[in-house]
Amino acid sequence: MDSILGTVTDKLDKFLPGAKQQVKQFADKAKAYMNNMTELEIKVMEATNHEPWGPHGTAMQEITNAAFTSDGLTQIMGVLDMRMAEVGDNWRLVYKSLLLLEYMVKHGPARIADALLSNRLHRLEMLKEGFEYKEPSGRDQGINVRQRAGALVALISDRERLAEERERAAKNSGKFGGVSSSQSRYGGFAGGAAAGGGGGYSSGGFDSARQGGGGGAYGGRRAPRFARRRRRRRRRRSGRRVRGV
């Protein structure tokens, strides 16, 4: 059935770019409905979907928080096991599942790494060594999965490094109000993203605001309060009389 659907969507995509992805998304939702999935399971499905970006840092944090309960972890791993069994042009489902697992290993309960080592190491090794998929254009997307699986195996197999990564993640979470700065690394990836980086982000919106025309550094808007205070302090030092701004 999957192969028939794949053939149909491949042909449809030639005439309607993006149609294949939309059909797969619909199939995912239908599967969730038919299997009577829980809200958490659906959240994991959405975080590891066919979209060419993500999983989003906020979604990963919410999923990881749920993993601190036995029932939550069971639901999460059930969906991820299903995702990691995908093959071929469903490579994004596998890749994003590995991204989520890496995040959970660093930010979630310690038993996740133990569970991967004891019950899923063989699966991860298979992905590392044997996942293959090339687009019709010849572009190798399987390498993304192979490299990401290899990185995860290396992480959970090195106890000292894993402890350091978890400590760093905990410090960053406290520093940034519960949202680790490393989450931005998982925020998006293009079709051929290198697995070593896990995506990336740009500060385009912030930069464009700073570079807005006509008003200097703040794009024509009134300078923030801290900047006005700084100007007043400078004027006092230079002996000028300062009036209220």
Q: Are residues 167 and 231 in the same domain?
A: no
| Secondary structure of residue 90 in the 3-state scheme | helix
Q: Are residues 78 and 125 in the same domain?
A: yes
**Which candidate, 180, 162, 167, 148, places its Cα nearest to that of 60?**
180
Q: Which pLDDT value is given to residue 173?
A: 79
CB 74 within 8 A of CB 122: no
Q: Which pLDDT value is given to residue 82?
A: 96
Q: Are residues 119 and 225 in the same domain?
A: no
Q: Are residues 41 and 89 in the same domain?
A: yes
CB 127 within 8 A of CB 152: no
What total number of domains does the chain contain? 2
Residue-level pLDDT, tens digit, the chain, 245 residues? 444 555 555 555 555 556 555 666 656 666 665 668 999 999 999 999 999 987 899 999 999 999 999 999 999 999 999 999 999 999 999 999 999 999 999 999 999 999 999 999 999 999 999 999 999 999 999 999 999 999 999 999 999 999 999 999 999 877 655 544 444 444 444 444 443 443 332 323 323 333 333 333 323 334 444 445 555 555 555 554 434 43
Count, residues in the chain: 245
Domain membership flag for residue 2: no
Q: What is the CATH number of the domain that holds 177?
A: 1.25.40.90
Q: Are residues 133 and 160 in the same domain?
A: yes
Q: Are residues 176 and 114 in the same domain?
A: yes
Q: Are residues 87 and 138 in the same domain?
A: yes
Based on its alpha-carbon atoms, the radius of gyration of the chain, rounded to whole angstroms, reads 23
Q: Are residues 195 and 76 in the same domain?
A: yes
Q: Are residues 127 and 219 in the same domain?
A: no
Q: Which pLDDT value is given to residue 8?
A: 52
Q: Is the pTM of this model over 0.85?
A: no
Domain membership flag for residue 244: no
First-last CA distance in the chain:
70
**Preceding omega of 17 cis (within 30 degrees of 0):** no
> What is the residue range of 223's domain?
206-237
| Secondary structure of residue 181 in the 3-state scheme | helix
Domain membership flag for residue 28: no
